[in-house]
Structure 1
């Protein structure tokens, strides 16, 4: 049992905590066969934590990334673990200020800071590990990518993985389909980008330089990909032919809303789509961000029918750091799957559960805000020592696991 006391809890109880042996920076989280695999952005690697006893999680260790390389996102399915390799942008002086990372093209920011393009000193691509021994992943495949690398992945089995990648010649991350049918030889088979992103082909962005059009990631249901492009909004793509992803529809509500479109969760049995816009600046400098419910009965005309209620039991805007949506539990095979109960992270407002039985009136049913981190792992100057609940994974038994940029792994019971 943990002795940590949440800042706030309603219908949710904190039962376990791990500081990951002092490497308590966490980004994406997979819980697979009793082990948590945690991508990290400061420690440069991914951690393994034995959570078979969730009240007493046991650190197994860090699988180290190559120098200057992010392993911040990963996916686990069956005996495979897919891990991104990308330049550690937060260690680059050009991105010490968050405004530079979220407020424009990553490729153009790097080019302005280093016009002479230095030799690449990081690893970029997709690594695939065998998980037959869950405590000692064995790398069996790697697909290199030129440019910055891969940011995030979607893989739930089958022959294809779906990635956001930033190859040379593009303004920012694009959609990439990777054939992993032979996991020892992954290979790219298709890509899609928003018109204006392919700078090497002479395309010109049509959006303001202060906006960031970049794929955060896509989730895939059947032959449809739901892709979130930060300030570029949402695309629905037909990926039946993986070599030629085809646009079904593009919707963008920024402006008037503040952009940051980040995570999409399709609920196909109900013809619904949940879309979260990430809060990316401190003290809501980028405005109030929302989690949207779309009716997608007609995929060519998605219609927003409601938004999730914004946490209001405390003054989270004044609390500091980021306040607002970030990630959604993504209903992965083998995890908790529901089209009525949605788990989401709200950064300095912790993790939230929402009942969407009536999709026109979502209701918050539970929440837990962990205490502030004991120490800061994030080395960027001026970052406040405030909880920033990042990712959420709910296992088949209903236990809720969350990561934080500085505070480690929290394990909770949902009581709603």
Structure 2
């Protein structure tokens, strides 16, 4: 490991920082109510959420929101906000992140539906959809769900009778009584459909490869929905496009397989439709699993013909600063590789520029890319935070080498150009791009 004693940056500056009450930040969501900016931050380890008023970045206000359902084995790592409604993902605490006093079998799994418009700093739980169980990628859960307003929440969820997370559509018109109205899955995930295999769910270890010969490890990592089409980042396969104009009957339209050759536990992490071009494009990425490497897939796909999506370009590898005390990000230590792109999702308070994309890279900080020419993608800015003095959560050795090191997770950009980045060991950084 090579410790980074001071931030490394190019064309970016730090505007503000917050310690998130000593909790490791993960996914974020933002809303604007009455001219004030509210940021909601999840964690993969502690219960509850941090709510920050970031209107005045010189005087950030923060409070912790507890889970009113109060089950010690529940975690809430994912979040979505639109139309004054907050959707929180709930699931079983993963056992490789130990915490004293936790009953791992006492948990909720599903989505919480909250009113965050009436009192943004004090959300009110309106209802909860329970997913019923199943065998998810990290136990029984929902994960990186999608909600951009309206009646339907598009989830990646475990499900009884299925192996790993599948696509489930939830109607929240009556938030006190949400209900599933549609689902889609790969046939290899349907346990009852494998009548020639003697399934033993005790052999299915959450997060593991499928233990049955001839069956691949498939799971839906995240959906994105735009203009009646769902774009699924499906691990073990790649991009899958569905017609969801009738949410009760999702229909397969087309796909682009990237696994193989880009095989890994999270071989397809993000499928993100882009806006502002004269053609339909989508960002497609993967996330590194347990194998140390820098080579990962991140590219732009032409989805003008949704029956035959086509890869048209690749993002260049994220650069090593000339003044860095390490030669590459494997040598730096911790977890290298790509994680999250900024996802506007049609929300007016998020920046949505066709010429610019923002990407977090775990131990490589945050990167800004010029995407004005989709055939010539260029890195134009970066910010790598200094490494912290102590761990905020017991990251397993397989994920961070047991080292105290920065681990950049999520990124959001608001309509003021403020860039929010969570670091699971280093709080919340608010940045500005100078180009």
Band of TM-score, shorter chain: 0.7 to 0.9
CA contact (8 A) 1:290 1:310 kept: no
What residue number does 1:68 align with? 73
Alpha-carbon distance between aligned partners in 1 of 2:145 and 2:6, rounded to the nearest angstrom: 31
Q: Name stretches of at least 5 consecutive residues in structure 2 with no aligned partner.
A: 134-139, 198-209, 321-326
Asked if 1:26 corresponds to 2:25, the answer is yes
Asked if 1:323 corresponds to 2:308, the answer is no
Alpha-carbon distance between aligned partners in 2 of 1:331 and 1:29, rounded to the nearest angstrom: 12
The structure 1 segments of at least 4 consecutive aligned residues displaced by more than 6 Å after TM superposition are 203-210
Secondary structure, in 3 states, of the residue corresponding to 1:168? coil
Alpha-carbon distance between aligned partners in 2 of 1:91 and 1:57, rounded to the nearest angstrom: 33
Asked if 1:275 corresponds to 2:278, the answer is no
| 1:144-223 equivalence runs, <5 A | 144-147=130-133, 148-202=140-194, 212-223=217-228
Secondary structure, in 3 states, of the residue corresponding to 1:82? strand
Secondary structure, in 3 states, of the residue corresponding to 1:196? helix
1:92 Cα shift? Answer: 6.4
Secondary structure, in 3 states, of the residue corresponding to 1:151? coil
- Picking from 40, 43, 58, the partner of 2:43 is 40
| 1:14-413 equivalence runs, <5 A | 14-23=14-23, 25-33=24-32, 34-64=37-67, 66-91=71-96, 120-131=105-116, 132-147=118-133, 148-202=140-194, 212-259=217-264, 260-268=267-275, 269=277, 270-281=279-290, 283-284=292-293, 288-313=295-320, 314-332=327-345, 333-334=347-348, 335-382=350-397, 383-413=402-432
Alpha-carbon distance between aligned partners in 2 of 1:201 and 1:195, rounded to the nearest angstrom: 7
TM, length-normalised to structure 2: 0.83
Query: How many pairs does the alignment contain?
Result: 386
1:399 Cα shift? Answer: 0.6
What residue number does 2:137 align with? none
Q: 1:30 to 1:46 in 2, by over 3 A?
A: same
Deviations 1:226-272 (A, max 9, x none): 10112321101111110111111132222222342101111254311
Q: 1:90 to 1:342 in 2, by over 3 A?
A: farther
Question: Could you tell which deviates more after superposition, 178-187 or 191-200?
Answer: 178-187
Q: 1:402 to 1:385 in 2, by over 3 A?
A: same
Alpha-carbon distance between aligned partners in 2 of 1:210 and 1:57, rounded to the nearest angstrom: 50
Alpha-carbon distance between aligned partners in 2 of 1:388 and 1:119, rounded to the nearest angstrom: 26
Q: 1:290 to 1:55 in 2, by over 3 A?
A: farther
Superposition RMSD in Å? 2.3
CA contact (8 A) 1:324 1:346 kept: yes
1:207 Cα shift? Answer: 8.9
What residue number does 1:414 align with? 433
